[in-house]
């Protein structure tokens, strides 16, 4: 019977070490101060993303229009200005130049940005992807 208090004390000490220390970070907040990894967009990334667009658009210099206009040289070009393409009235009314801000807004949600556009595309949600597409389109403007 004289072993019972020793075994009981050893058990209490063992169990006391099972909990988390009070100052240890919780698993769900351990990396709260570590910034998320950001991916720097590149024209090469944009080229891969543009593969979604080739069902409707061509990109070759002097290329023909598809369901959508040829996009070679689109960066810096007036809106609704590629020769031989029949733009919607909404796109013609948009006006302006396809610069980075205009393309970013349009690609984010074409139907919201230009109500009445014929571009039946939900948009590119990720801003990094839109930037990569812009870089690719810009590189095709030469």
Q: Residue 38: what pLDDT?
A: 82
pLDDT tens-digit map of 117-137: 999 999 999 999 999 999 999
pLDDT tens-digit map of 66-83: 999 999 999 999 999 999
pTM above 0.75, yes or no: no
Read off the pLDDT band of 32 (50, 70, 90).
low
Round to whole Å and give the CA distance between 86 and 42.
Answer: 31
Q: Residue 25: what pLDDT?
A: 47
109: how many CB neighbours lie within 10 A of its CB? Answer: 14
Per-residue pLDDT for 16 more than 70?
no
Is there a contact between 16 and 22 (Cβ–Cβ < 8 Å)? no
CATH of 44-139 given 1.10.760.10, 3.40.50.150, 2.60.40.1080, 1.10.3720.10: 1.10.760.10
Collect contacts of 102-106 with beta carbons under 8 A, ≥24 apart.
103/74, 103/75, 103/130, 103/133, 103/134, 103/137, 104/130, 104/131, 104/134
pLDDT tens-digit map of 33-69: 666 778 899 999 999 999 999 999 999 999 999 999 9
CA angle, corner 114, sides to 84 and 138, nearest 5? 60
Round to whole Å and give the CA distance between 27 and 42.
Answer: 34
Give residue limits of the domains in the chain. Answer: 44-139
Read off the pLDDT band of 20 (50, 70, 90).
very low
Round to whole Å and give the CA distance between 111 and 122.
Answer: 8
Q: Residue 31: what pLDDT?
A: 55
Six-digit token pair at 128? 């990094």
């Amino acid at each position: 019977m004289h072993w019972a208090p020793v075994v009981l004390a050893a058990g209490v000490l063992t169990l006391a070490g099972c909990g988390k220390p009070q100052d240890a970070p919780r698993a769900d907040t351990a990396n709260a101060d570590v910034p998320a990894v950001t991916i720097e967009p590149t024209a090469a990334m944009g080229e891969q993303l543009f593969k979604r667009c080739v069902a409707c658009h061509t990109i070759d210099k002097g290329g023909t229009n598809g369901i959508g206009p040829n996009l070679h040289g689109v960066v810096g070009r007036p809106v609704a200005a590629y020769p031989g393409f029949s733009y919607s009235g909404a796109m013609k009314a948009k006006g302006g130049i396809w610069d980075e801000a205009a393309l970013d807004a349009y690609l984010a949600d074409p139907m919201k940005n230009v109500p009445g556009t014929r571009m039946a595309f939900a948009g590119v949600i990720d801003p990094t992807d839109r930037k990569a597409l812009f870089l690719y389109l810009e590189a095709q403007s030469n």
